Amino acid sequence: FLKMGEYIPADGEIIKGEASIDESSVTGESQPVIKGAQGDHTSVISGSLVVSDEITVRITADMGKGFLDKMITLIEGARRKKTSNELALSIFLSGIAIVFLMVVCSLKIFSLYFHIHIPLVTLAALLVCLIPTTIGGLLSAIGIAGINRLMQKNVLAMSGQAIEAAGDIDVILIDKTGTITIGNRQAFAMVQNKFVLEIDCARVCYLASLEDNTPEGKSIREYMKNHYPDIEQEEAVWDVRKKPIIIPFSAKTRMSGVDLGGIEYRKGAQDAIEHFVGTPVPLDLSAEIKKISRKGGTPILVATKDKIYGVVFLKDIVKPGLVEKFAKLRSMGQKIVMITGDHRLTAAAIAKEAGVDDFLAEATPEHKLEYLKEIQSHNYTVAMTGDGVNDAPALAHADVGVAMSSGTQAAKEAGNMIDLDSNPTKLFAITQIGKQLLMTRGSLTTFSIANDLAKYFAILPAIMIPYFPEMEIFNVMRLATPQSSILSAVIFNALVIVALIPLAFQGVTFVPQEPAKLLRKNLLNYGLGGVLVPFLGIKFIDIILHRMGWF
């Protein structure tokens, strides 16, 4: 037995009563649906909310085979793969480390062949200086910095890998209800019957919603107060003299309103209002209703017992700032696709208004997941945003799954990021921070590898000069002694990691530009800098050690 405000605990069918049910969190359909014991719409889904009336439901789903159980199965099968950048860096660093290890081992064999003695500690120093210890020591700092920068934008990242994947996003899948749109339909316009005054129609709209505290009812009152300020003052006088009799929304009547001063004010669906008044909708209003439906909106008629006054246009409101942000994401080479459980007419209208590249309508959780996997099969990195139970499987399989904080717990558990402001425009900031993380890591990797050139000229001559004096020509830095050369290189290797920590935390400045131009800039700044800085640093440390009399 379920009443208004309660959630349906398991899949079943209504055997008694009729109610308005909000299935948006499980189907993505933003408008509540009327279901009852009679007719074609008797089945209900676990997780749906009863928003009016009372119903009795017989549970029909077997244990472990309901809607939520299917969602759990789809989510549990998710395994996020490593990004191409992460794989490339792992292979590169591992390869470099193996090559340098082989070089050091070959020096030991070389020393045995020529009957010379190279101390093990010297070979260890060479290995430590040549393998990519700098970037290895800074990777964690770069990841922590990325998480911290996202936190400043009110986004919780569950892992550094999620931020890294954000820098490689190719396609963004965005849920409509609660993500692109506010989630509740709002009053957008009012059209009055040509036989009544506009102010009279506005007054009936306001009074019919006087005690309706649903988001739609509040939006109608707000719209009327904003466009007709005198209505609220007028009503304040009436409210002192007359107490309204509240008529709550019922799935049976499909209307709501108040009885005030002997007058019945009602708002509801077209057929319900026609039955209430006893006359059909005027032709001019009927044409307006069709226009509203074609735009994907919901027409709500308002009337008294003797007359139909007009229609209120309720629509999904696109969150402010989305069009501009989507344009910026598109300029970075990312495709934006809106996904919704709504019918194509509504989806097309919202997609056009929001400025997305494409849309997928009437999508079930399985359809969303199949669509996402199809894109990933072409080696694209996919980001998904959503807030409902129906979004959870796709969020779990996406490379970057951004759940809205205002959404369901299932969505937040499935994603690897949570937007605390529930604003999909955050994707622009998330993408920027992801690209900045990749740039920072790439820059420091370039710097680290370039360092090896100076370390070669510091340590290798120091090892060989005692046995092969002619190799003095390679001591281009003119380091004091072989011992000071090796120690200077080791000290520099340790200090440079500490010196680069602030850059790892701050990150390289991100400026959207062509990859080729960015690569040239990186090689110039961090490649050439990585060669010059250690030459100067090692020489400076060697001078200090020599002057202190250590060597």
CA 414-399-352 angle, 5° bins: 90
Secondary structure in 3-state letters for 67-131:
HHHHHHHHHHCCCCCCCHHHHHHHHHHHHHHHHHHHHHHHHHHHHHHCCCCCCHHHHHHHHHHHC
E strands of 137-180, at which residues?
155-157, 171-175
Cβ atoms of 411 and 404 closer than 8 Å: yes
- Told to judge if 175 belongs to the known catalytic residues of this protein, a careful annotator would answer yes
* Residue owning tokens 């997928």: 360
CA distance 164 to 254: 50
SS3 193: coil
CA distance 55 to 158: 41
Out of 22, 175, 387, 391, the active site residue is 175
Look at residues 138, 132, 140 and name the one whose alpha carbon lies nearest to residue 448.
Answer: 132
Element (H, E) at 385: strand 382-386
E strands of 124-262, at which residues?
155-157, 171-175, 186-192, 245-247, 255-260
* Residue 194 to residues 28, 197, 224, 335, 509, Cα–Cα distance (Å): 37, 8, 18, 45, 60
What residues form DSSP beta bridges with 300? 312
**Pairing mode, if any, of strands 400-404 and 382-386?**
parallel
SS3 376: helix
Cβ atoms of 66 and 46 closer than 8 Å: yes
HSE at residue 418, side-chain half, CA atoms within 13 A, is 14
Crossing angle (nearest 10°) for helices 344-354 and 322-331: 80
Give the list of residues 6+ apart from residue 249 with CB closer than 8 angstroms, or none.
Answer: 20, 51, 52, 212, 214, 255, 256, 268
Look at residues 410, 548, 534, 417 and name the one whose alpha carbon lies nearest to residue 477.
Answer: 534
Q: Which residues are part of the catalytic machinery?
A: 175
